[in-house]
Amino acid sequence: MKWINAIKDYEHYLKIERGLAQNSIINYSKDVEKLVSYLDDKSIDISPLSINKDTIQEFIYDASKHINARSQSRLISGLRSFFSYLVFEDYRTTNPLDHIESPKIGRKLPDTLSISDIDRLISAIDLTKCYNNIYIGERNRAILETLYSCGLRVSELINLKLSDLFFEEGFVKVTGKGNKERFVPIGPNTQKYINIWMTERAKIDIAETFKDTLFLNHRGQQLTRAMIFTIIKQLAKAINLNKTISPHTFRHSFASHLLENGADLRAIQLMLGHESITTTEIYMHVDRSHLKEVLLKHHPRT
């Protein structure tokens, strides 16, 4: 089996069997492609079925000179997944990554914004900016309000549809990783800003493919992930925010602020769409200041 065929089969498996998003599939494939590039550079002629632990360890050692421990851990995880697939499909009997340990890394705490930061970012949006008689600022305000009030991933935001909005019930239907659907509460304030955007959206000549897509550009096409990043970075620059932020920062802030104000961790897990509560537990490390208050208020022996 050639590497190119193995990678294509693996990508098909990730898409069909595991239901991963295209961006995740690309990232998994890149891990394997880095190994293939290394083998080519070293003129090592070996197939994915016969490569052994020693060769992979040499590759990881070489890669470690150029990447940090977290990226190295991610690379090992990606390769382990690829060879697990080959074992699963009976192409191999063993996974050469089974006894290769990932480097010890500290748990990275997510960056968050204060409520004041979020207010300043939203206030910095130019509501007078107009393209083809469409006030794009109204869209940008609705985007930031939705990111923060619903805790969405950027991919979930750009794929949000009109048919996903259940404002009377106070929920939006979100399609997350692996095409798993969940319902997330949406407050009246965010609904108000989305409805204002809907008035502007009605002026757009929308491409047939995107008739049901909520957030569009002025040409009637779906927004890209990169465009959401650009909007946020421009706003951060406008207010001289001394932080590196992204759409995901709003999701982190959503979870952290809920936890700080006494929300149940399990409820936050459901709203974020985390498969495991251990993923959600990282927010317990962001701000523990409220925990003392909870103890003093609720423990019978304090």
pLDDT interval class at 81 (50, 70, 90):
very high
pLDDT at 301 over 80: no
Q: What is the architecture of the domain spanning 115-293?
A: Orthogonal Bundle (1.10)
SS (H, E, C) 19-78: CCCHHHHHHHHHHHHHHHHHHHHCCCCCCCCCCCHHHHHHHHHHHCCCCCHHHHHHHHHH
Q: Please say if the pLDDT value at position 22 is more than 60.
A: yes
Every domain of the chain with CATH number 1.10.150 lies at 3-88
Residue 122 pLDDT: 96
| Span 114-170, pLDDT tens digits | 999 999 999 999 999 888 889 999 999 999 999 999 999 999 999 999 999 999 999
Considering only residues 22 and 190, tell me which one the structure prediction assigns the higher pLDDT: 190
* 259 and 284 Cβ atoms separated by less than 8 Å: yes
Q: Average pLDDT for residues 171-197, to the nearest whole number?
A: 92
Which of 115-119, 251-255, 284-288 comes out lowest in average pLDDT?
284-288
Question: What are the catalytic residues?
Answer: 153, 177, 248, 251, 274, 283
Confidence of residue 242 (pLDDT cuts 50, 70, 90): confident
**CATH topology classification for 3-88:** DNA polymerase; domain 1 (1.10.150)
* Across 209-235, average pLDDT: 94
Residues of the chain with CATH 1.10.443.10: 115-293
In the chain, the percentage of residues whose pLDDT exceeds 70 is 90
- Residue 289: the pLDDT is 53
Sign of the CA dihedral running 213, 215, 221, 227: negative
